[in-house]
Structure 1
Amino acid sequence: MNAKKDDTVKEPDLEYTHYSYADYLTWQMEEVVELIRGKIFKKAAAAPKRNHQHISIKLASKLYYFLEDKPCQVYDAPFDVRFPKVSKEDEKIHDVVQPDICVICDTEKLDDRGCIGAPDLIVEILSPGNSKVELKHKFTLYESNGVREYWIIHPETQDLLIYSLVDGKYVPSRLFTSGDVVESTVLIGFTLDLEEFFGDME
């Protein structure tokens, strides 16, 4: 969530660990925040670096054109993904994140507020301010909720790691770098030539 601050609204306690999606909807904060196991995680207040945004729009565009004649849909941040545990009621959802890019093939999971349930593919583009969140908390969240494929892109080193869900556990790929052609096991037929993809990066 990223909304203009309203002085009449009290900001939430960052140490509290039992917030729900219902609480999340009431917040009006300058920062982008996510909710993992009921605890607030703030993203950097400043806008992401240019290379982060360049990678995001370039990959989202490639996915969009690949999926044009397919039932799957691609979304980029800000876009709320809610992970319900026992109920889809707002008060009982304690995990709400905004992946950089996500692909959802079951359109029944989509509503006006985003996605409720696990996307088929999630891409996170790392930055100095959020690496620990992506690598630690989100890894466990995505694995436990059945996200079938999880891509982690590091703009500074221009590499890509893919976690594929096998029997409920993530299996990592080798580290892909320039010269490699990456293939998704979830979006059959989608490939990414990393030399071309990172070729116009500074």
Structure 2
Amino acid sequence: MVLPKGKKTYSYADYLEWDNDFNSEALNGEIISMSPSPTPKHQDIVGELTAEFKMFLRGKKCMAFLAPMDVCLFADKNTKADAILDWVQPDLLIVCDPHKIGDKNIYGAPDLIVEVLSPSTARNDRLIKYNSYEKAGVKEYWIVDPYNMTVEIYSLQGASFVQAGILAKDDLLTAGIFPELEIDLKNIFKE
């Protein structure tokens, strides 16, 4: 898909008019990502983490979703699509407030977001999205590096993210918002 010429900012209403097979992300109306399909390694990590969360959350009020799922960061269900300028598609997200779950997307900040780095998205995940997730009030943000087999955990304290730890393949990961959850990273990072 080629974006319309002459237009530099887009709303969620514009995006909804584009081809159904076209996925993009935007912050402040500026398209930040039109990524190619993820690699098998990327998808395996997302799948393993999703399985861990799905099992843990079974029977609880929180729900896990994986990409592609539009998250309208600074909106609610009453926000008109042409007023939404920020939408992202995190690799994995956890939402505990059922009012944020719409028929086709998520409204507002998820409780936890996981992004798995790839060469084409690393800058966005570490800088642009990091700042937007912080500003939106995401409680916890994980950056997963499949090449170095690490997980960086950022926890929202006040209005800012604070690094809560960096874990490697041989570690047990515990989510700050779910202290009773333990994920053995040997099951996530395979050689």
2:89 match: 98
Q: Aligned to 1:62, which of 52, 55, 59?
A: 52
Aligned AA for 1:192?
I
Describe the shift of the 1:94–1:183 C-alpha distance in structure 2 as closer, same or farther (beyond 3 A).
same
Q: Aligned to 2:39, which of 36, 49, 55?
A: 49
Q: Which has the higher contact order (CA 8 A, sep 6+)?
A: 2
Deviates more, 1:49-58 or 1:29-38: 29-38
**In structure 2, what is the Cα distance between the partners aligned to 1:188 and 1:65?**
15
**In structure 2, what is the Cα distance between the partners aligned to 1:131 and 1:15?**
26
Q: Which runs of 4+ in 1 moved over 4 A?
A: none
Aligned AA for 1:12?
P
- Secondary structure, counterpart of 2:168 in structure 1: coil
- Secondary structure, counterpart of 1:162 in structure 2: strand
- Secondary structure, counterpart of 2:167 in structure 1: coil
2:109 match: 118
Describe the shift of the 1:55–1:14 C-alpha distance in structure 2 as closer, same or farther (beyond 3 A).
farther
Deviations along 1:48-76, one digit per CA (max 9) or x if unpaired, are: 11110000011001100100010000000
**In structure 1, what is the Cα distance between the partners aligned to 2:131 and 2:163?**
13
* Cα shift at 1:196: 3.5
- Secondary structure, counterpart of 1:57 in structure 2: helix
**In structure 2, what is the Cα distance between the partners aligned to 1:114 and 1:29?**
14
**In structure 2, what is the Cα distance between the partners aligned to 1:84 and 1:14?**
26
5+ residue gaps, structure 2:
none
Q: Give the total of aligned pairs.
A: 190
5+ residue gaps, structure 1:
none
Q: Aligned to 2:158, which of 157, 163, 167?
A: 167
With normalisation by structure 2, the TM-score equals 0.92
RMSD: 1.9
**In structure 2, what is the Cα distance between the partners aligned to 1:163 and 1:178?**
18
Aligned AA for 1:156?
Y
* Cα shift at 1:187: 2.1
**In structure 1, what is the Cα distance between the partners aligned to 2:5 and 2:64?**
33
* 1:40 equivalenced with 2:31 (yes/no): yes
* Cα shift at 1:197: 2.7
2:80 match: 89
